Amino acid sequence: MSLDLRERILDVPNFPSEGIVFKDVMPLLADREYLMETIRLLADWARPREPDLILGAEARGFIFGGALAYELEIGFIAARKPGKLPRETVEATYALEYGTDSLQIHRDAVSPGARVIVLDDVLATGGTAKAKVDLVEQLGGVVAGALFVIELTFLSGRNRLEGYDVHSLIQY
Ligand code: AMP
């Protein structure tokens, strides 16, 4: 029996700002059946792509990414906001609605040729995911896929990831 993951994702209108409908995955994470089903579905897609590493960004990307890496018996690497990582980093900058933001990973996080799946809870405009793709490629890694629990299709984030293998478990 498969579960409908939508049953544990809450819509929170006007968070964090007016006009945004925030997809709250905390109820899904808190429910063991739904959490296990989510990780199982992510792993089913990821496994045949033979990743060596999962790359997730803070904060929900760490939760899903850590669990997925464990399920796949591979490693997890973290992309973080500038100033959080203690050793030498590389950086990618991406556009926000107003201004820009950046993500960093340790320079030694990806070996040349390593296959990396970039993961996040939500694909919205695709800026964050594209920055993670850039980080992997700056270090000579291969992007084995871009994987999301939720895709907000009306924001067309997939267009930013053209040429990559993109998958989401649920679409709105
Ligand atoms: P984007 O770079 O526009 O694709 O935004 C993706 C990032 O912002 C992800 O890390 C998401 O967790 C977060 N995000 C964007 N929109 C939403 C939303 N409506 N609900 C929850 N998280 C969101």
Please tell me the distance from the alpha carbon of residue 100 to that of residue 59, in angstroms, as a whole number: 18
Please tell me the distance from the alpha carbon of residue 42 to that of residue 44, in angstroms, as a whole number: 6
Mean pLDDT for the stretch of residues 83-111: 94
26 CB-side CA count, 13 A: 5
Please give the CATH architecture assigned to the domain spanning 49-171: 3-Layer(aba) Sandwich (3.40)
Q: What's the pLDDT tens digit per position in 39-82?
A: 999 999 999 999 999 999 999 999 999 999 999 999 999 999 99
Residue ranges of the domains in the chain? 49-171
Is pTM beyond 0.95? Reply is yes
Please give the distance, rounded to the nearest whole angstrom, from the Cα atom of residue 30 to the centre of ligand 1: 20
Instruction: Look up residue 162 and give its two tokens.
Output: 């053209």
146 CB-side CA count, 13 A: 26
**Nearest atom within ligand 1 for CA of residue 125:** 3
With a Cβ cut-off of 6 Å, ligand 1 is lined by 20-23, 60, 120-129, 157
Please give the distance, rounded to the nearest whole angstrom, from the Cα atom of residue 127 to the centre of ligand 1: 9
Helix (H) or strand (E) holding 70: helix 60-72
Please give the distance, rounded to the nearest whole angstrom, from the Cα atom of residue 7 to the centre of ligand 1: 19
Please tell me the distance from the alpha carbon of residue 153 to that of residue 51, in angstroms, as a whole number: 25
